[in-house]
A and B are shown apart, each in its own frame.
Chain A
């Protein structure tokens, strides 16, 4: 098992690999992390994702432009491909099924993919609709799969306005389904205002929230059955 200093060094390598869009460094860092028995989830979030956060800042400071961002995302995925199969399957007692996607007009799916990964790891059944998903598709897919949860992601102030529409439609057709939203421009306040049942600021909290919600739903359903 690697000591703290070595662990930091490997995470730093993953982080810098993303920032400097160096796919080889990300692959190497990921392999080292696995060879030295580090936790894959930690390597993803404290290494790769923390790098992507810095990339976001560089983009805002206009140091990076679109080509750099895309290359950084490729580097992130290069590391992720190696780490993902090693993510420990967690048994958190609750499993559910979830429909997830990035809303219409928005192609940002890096964050959504990380949230999806957490669900995979926790043994949830995930119906991934991808990105730039027409709003009605969420409604249809929920009905078709009878999923307990629908997760909406948006990274732009212009696309997130589609969220309340989806929420309204789903609630009208299926009030027992729970909806969680996320992505940088969204917030707990917006979730409340739009009638969503949950919000999370990052992928691990998204899973925690989801588990609470599914557990709550199950309880609700059991009570209903008992009353009958």
Chain B
């Protein structure tokens, strides 16, 4: 099933990137029938407006699929903050990074984040899982960071280990989240902010879209 019309539709509605991945291998039993992940990204930081935009894009995707007789399940961008609902129990079964790498929209950088060639990791992601047999994009199977180690050197907490990600070894701890978090708790002024983010800002892909390591 051709996915281009869906991609074009979503891009016209404000999506920066849309891709389709075969995510079957990453699914648990409850959602095993939803073998395609539609990864949607916008090049904006995680704010209320960004979340609203992504949620709207997800609703449009669901509508598009439903009109063709398919099921879908949206994993919202802020899935980790959405608690207390019954459906929210399923959110933790699926991670946006999986959809993004399977859909060929990025690899997991040494900084543990999705790196898109053009936008780096300055993006916000959402996923719609579906049982529609959409044509899939070519996945990333390994890291493209190469010798670059800017984020390793600049991380003030020593959290970024420098490991290269590969699809075959998804469970490897690339970033020590405990260390990263320990820094956050020490900085009271940044209390409500999501961490220092140096690993995002130093990344050449995030900075100017081209890699120019030095």
Partner of B33, one of A65, A71, A73, A74: A65
Interface size on B, residues (CB 8 A): 11
- B-contacting residues of A (Cβ < 8 Å)? 65-68, 70-71, 73-74, 77
Q: Quick check: B71 and A66 within 8 Å, CB to CB?
A: no
**Looking across the interface, which residue of chain B has its beta carbon closest to that of A68?**
B71
| B87 contacts across to A, CB distance below 8 A | 67, 70-71, 74
Q: Which residues of the partner chain A approach B71 to less than 8 Å between Cβ atoms?
A: 65, 67-68
Minimum distance in angstroms from A78 CB to a CB of chain B:
9
The answer for the CA separation of A68 and B31 in the assembled complex, in Å, is 10
- CB closest residue in chain B, given A63: B71
B135 proximal to A (CB < 8 A): no
Residues of chain A contacted by B190 (CB below 8 angstroms):
none
How many residue pairs between the two chains, A and B, have CB atoms under 8 Å in the bound complex? Answer: 26
**Within 8 Å CB of B90, what residues of A?**
66-67, 70
Contacting B31 at CB < 8 Å: which of A66, A73, A77? A66
Interface of B is mostly: loop
Q: A65-B71, A66-B90, A67-B73 are in contact. Are A74 and B85 (CB under 8 A)?
A: yes
**Residues of chain A with a CB closer than 8 A to B73's CB:** 67
CB proximity of A86 to chain B, nearest CB, Å:
22
Measured in the bound complex, the distance between the Cα atoms of B31 and A67 in whole Å is 7
CA distance A71 to B90 in the complex (A): 10
Q: Is B89 in contact with chain A by the CB < 8 A criterion?
A: yes
A68 proximity list for chain B (CB < 8 A): 71
* Chain B 75-89 residues near chain A, CB threshold 8 A: 85-87, 89
Closest B residue, CB atoms, query A73: B86
Given contacts A70-B86, A74-B85, A77-B86, 9 further A-B contacts (CB under 8 A): A66-B31, A67-B30, A67-B31, A67-B34, A67-B71, A67-B87, A67-B90, A71-B86, A73-B86
* A74 touching B86, Cβ below 8 Å: yes
> Which A residues are in CB contact (< 8 Å) with B34?
67
Q: How far is the CB of B193 from chain A (nearest CB, A)?
A: 30
Contacts of A74 in B (CB 8 A): 85-87
Distance of B63 from chain A, by nearest CB (Å): 13
Q: How far is the CA of A65 from the CA of B90 in the complex (A)?
A: 12
- Most B Cβ at <10 Å: residue of A66, A67, A68, A71: A67
- Residues of the A chain whose Cβ atoms lie less than 8 Å from the Cβ of B30: 65-67
Measured between alpha carbons, how far is A74 from B85 in the docked complex, in Å?
6
Residue in chain B with minimal CB distance to A107:
B89
Chain A positions within 8 Å of B86 at CB level: 70-71, 73-74, 77
A70 / chain B contacts, CB cutoff of 8 Å: 86-87, 89-90
Q: Which residues of B contact A73 (CB under 8 A)?
A: 86
> Considering only CB atoms, which chain A residue lies closest to B34 in the complex?
A67
Minimum CB distance partner of B32 in chain A: A65
State how many angstroms separate the Cβ of A64 from the closest Cβ of chain B. Answer: 9
| Chain B residues numbered 83-107 whose CB sits less than 8 Å from any CB in chain A | 85-87, 89-90
CA distance A123 to B30 in the complex (A): 39
For residue B61, give the distance in angstroms from its CB to the closest CB of chain A.
15
CB distance from B71 to the nearest CB of A (A): 7
Minimal Cβ-Cβ distance residue in A for B87:
A70
A66 to chain B: which residues have CB within 8 Å?
30-31, 90
B33 — which chain A residues lie within 8 A by C-beta? Answer: 65
A77 to B119, CA, bound (A): 41
CB distance from A51 to the nearest CB of B (A): 15
Closest A-B pairs by Cβ, 3 of them: A70-B86, A70-B87, A66-B30
Which residue on chain A has the smallest CB distance to residue B29?
A66
Nearest residue (CB) in B for A78 is B85
Nearest-Cβ distance from residue B32 to partner chain A, whole angstroms? 9
**For chain B residues 6-62, which have a beta carbon within 8 Å of chain A?**
30-31, 33-34
Q: Which residues of B are found within 8 Å of A67, using beta-carbon distances?
A: 30-31, 34, 71, 73, 87, 90
A67 to B73, CA, bound (A): 7
CB distance from B94 to the nearest CB of A (A): 11
Residues in B whose Cβ lies below 8 Å from that of A65: 30-31, 33, 71
